[in-house]
Structure 1
Amino acid sequence: MLTALEVVTTVVVGVMVGVEFSVAFVLNPILNGLPDDSSQLGRAHGGRMLGALMPFWYIGSLVLSAVWAVAGWHHPGTGLVVIAAALLIVSVIMSILLLVPINNRGRTWTPENRPADWKQQMNRWDRFHYLRVAVIIAAFALLVTART
């Protein structure tokens, strides 16, 4: 049973990392290359779509990691799982404090109502997102290492 939990947790976190990595290094650069109206509309739609999904994914990843740490407490690698869970906590806190407020504003914007500094706000979101991606990649790497 523990092995199944380890595999499911690793896959769930790994797919989350892949999605967030692609947002940072594929999707947003594509959107940034479009004309302003299209770029902003694409980011707003992405903010609505992923903003609805990602809280469950982040919290679910954290819960799975915590359950793995508790269930495997006396097994090798548990310390790595605990550190990974701590990093996932950091990613959730970063999301709530830094990224979600910007996303909540940006997902409501249209070309007619966006603020003059919308690009600066999106660039700020991107910088925080790069940092969050680094944190969840580290958590994923620890989970993979704990499995071996």
Structure 2
Amino acid sequence: MQNALAVVTVVVVGIMVGVEFAVAVFVNPILNRLPDDSTIAARADGGRVLGRVMPFWYIGSMVLGAVWAAMAWGGAGASLVTAATALLAVSVVMSVLLLVPINNRAKTWTAEGRPADWKQQAGRWDRYHYARVGVIVLAFALFAVALTR
């Protein structure tokens, strides 16, 4: 059972990392090269769509990690799983405190109704997102190493 949980956790977290990495490295840079009205529309839509899914994915990943850590307690790799789960908790806190407030504003923006500093807010979101991606990549790596123990 623990092995199956470990594999499911690595797969779920790995796919989440892939999505978030793609947003950071490919999607948002492409959107930023579009005309402003298109960038705003695309970011607002992305904020609405991913804003519905990602909370469940992040928290679900953290729960999977916590269950795996509890099952592995005292065994090989348990400290790695615990550290990875703690990093996922950090990513959730980062999301709630730093990214979600900006996203909640951005998903309501339109070409006609946008703040004067929308580019600065989008840039801030991107910088926070890069940091969050770093945190979840590290968590994924720890989970992957723990899986081999």
Same fold by TM-score greater than 0.5: yes
In the alignment, is residue 107 of structure 1 matched against residue 113 of structure 2? no
SS of the equivalent of 2:114 reads coil
Deviation for aligned residue 1:128 = 0.1
Distance of 1:98 and 1:143 partners within structure 2: 25
SS of the equivalent of 2:73 reads coil
Deviation for aligned residue 1:74 = 2.7
Q: Aligned residue for 1:119?
A: 119
Deviation for aligned residue 1:88 = 0.3
Greater CA deviation, 92-101 or 71-80? 71-80
- Equivalent position amino acid for 1:80 in 2: L
Q: Aligned residue for 2:48?
A: 48
The aligned runs of 1:1-148 (5 Å cut-off) are 1-148=1-148
SS of the equivalent of 2:112 reads coil
Matched-pair identity in % = 67
- Equivalent position amino acid for 1:9 in 2: T
- Equivalent position amino acid for 1:50 in 2: L
SS of the equivalent of 1:145 reads helix
Q: TM-score, normalised by structure 1?
A: 0.99
Distance of 2:138 and 2:68 partners within structure 1: 17
Distance of 1:127 and 1:64 partners within structure 2: 27
Q: TM-score, normalised by structure 2?
A: 0.99
Deviation for aligned residue 1:75 = 1.9
Distance of 1:9 and 1:75 partners within structure 2: 17
Distance of 1:110 and 1:9 partners within structure 2: 38
- Give me the CA root mean square deviation: 0.4
SS of the equivalent of 2:105 reads helix
Deviation for aligned residue 1:126 = 0.2
Structure 1 unaligned blocks of 5 or more: none
Residue-pair matches, total: 148
Deviation for aligned residue 1:60 = 0.2
- Equivalent position amino acid for 1:122 in 2: A
Deviation for aligned residue 1:137 = 0.1
Distance of 1:10 and 1:74 partners within structure 2: 20
SS of the equivalent of 1:109 reads coil
Deviation for aligned residue 1:136 = 0.1
